Amino acid sequence: MSAPGLAAPLRAAILDQQRPAPPLESANQEGRCACAPIRRDRAVGAGLHSEWPRGSECACAQTTPGARPSAQTHGYRLLPLPGSGDMNPVVVVHGGAGSRVSQDREERVREGVARAAAAGYRVLTEGGSALDAVESAVAALEDDPEFNAGCGSVLNVNGEVEMDASIMSGKDLSSGAVSAVRCIANPIRLARLVMEKTPHCLLTGLGAAEFAAAMGVPAVPGEQLVTERRRKHLEREKQKEAQNPDQPKDLGTVGAVALDSRGDVAYATSTGGIVNKMVGRVGDTPCVGSGGYADNAIGAVSTTGHGESILKVNLARLALFHVERGTWTRACRLETREQAVCEQREERHWTRRRRCRWVT
């Protein structure tokens, strides 16, 4: 296969931040690269990270001692290794998709997202980790009543707040999550504690509440998390469902992804769920692979939308799967449960029993 044919897009979130790699110093006297494979399609040299095709020689092979392999010759780009301190920090924040924002709220919502992004970026510029940055950004959104998380969460059928959150580090794939939690101002911080202080990945309901108390997380009165706007929202939703049970619900989940100067990525996602939901309903947000995913070798994703639909395809990990395969330029959207639409005219491909067809 020719070099251009091997040139798959790599790590979308990292490539744009790439700086020129230093000269390769790991070539031995025979002119062979001393790289050692660490995963099925990656190799690591001294200060370099290069992608190479499964079952082939390393992209750095047959270089002369001290020489830098040609990315043009091999068809691959060399990336600074995580931990090299050679990345420009980035944070991306979303305030949720699918919710209708009235004109009187539009500016407040925009300012809230900007404040959250600034909070996360401040952490990064001060040398903090991607994990710290996404936690700070999402906590800021949880503290803002304009968003469906924390004190702005929508209400369940009984008029109560139940929240979900998850967080993940791309450095070692460690994660923590909580679901159906009540009386907690910042579920994302509790999810971080689950990740760091327990051998588990997810705690729910009463168990999560007991853990929060053991960790000294202050409980807040449930009514403190309920806003008047959300009460009216629930009343309207119940009236709509009485008239039309299939009426689409407003959706909203907040989240953030970040890349720090060491090359580590992370995600955080938090939500109050769907308005007028059944008590105990849990969506995609606390489910790693659906509500979000982070892997230094690929990138980071935080999802928002209809949780039950996202869960069916493990959307976050599926998106990164296509990034990893080099198919991320084919921006696919689910059109029906059985069909997907490929919005770019490239060769046909398959995704978990869904076939892409051309958009005409």
**Burial (0-12, 13-18, 19+ Cβ within 10 Å), 137:** buried
Is-contact 136 254, C-beta < 8 A?
A: no
Q: 78 - beta bridge partners?
A: 50
Q: Tell me which of 63, 253, 271, 327 is the catalytic residue.
A: 253
**pLDDT score, position 141:** 97
Greatest alpha-carbon pair distance for the chain in Å reads: 78
Q: How far is CA 298 from CA 3, 29, 259, 291, in A?
A: 21, 32, 12, 17
Pairing of strands 350-351, 90-94: unpaired
Task: Indicate if 253 belongs to the active site.
Answer: yes
Q: Mean pLDDT in runs of 10 for the chain (360 residues)?
A: 33 37 35 36 34 38 38 37 70 85 88 96 96 98 95 94 98 97 97 98 97 96 89 86 63 92 97 94 97 96 94 96 72 40 40 37
d(CA 300, CA 258): 8
* Helices 187-197 and 130-142, packing angle to 10 deg: 150
Q: What H or E segment, with its residue span, contains residue 190?
A: helix 187-197
3-class secondary structure, 281:
coil
- Residue 212, helix vs strand vs coil: helix
Q: How far apart are CA 1 and CA 59, in angstroms?
A: 13
- Nearest CA to 267 out of 313, 214, 315 is that of 315
Closest by Cα among 253, 266, 247 to 307:
253
Answer for the pair 282, 259: CB distance below 8 angstroms, yes or no.
no
The identity of residue 104, as a single letter, is D
- What is the rounded (10 degree) CA torsion for 339, 340, 344, 348? -60
Q: H/E/C letters for each residue in 36-96?
A: EEEECCEEECCCEEEECCCCCCCCCCCCCCCCCCCHHHHCCCEEECCCCCCCCCEEEEECC
Burial class of residue 201 in the structure, from the number of CB atoms within 10 Å of its CB (0-12 exposed, 13-18 middle, 19+ buried):
middle
Confidence (pLDDT) at 254: 96
Instruction: Report yes or no: 269 and 192 within 8 Å, Cβ to Cβ.
Output: no
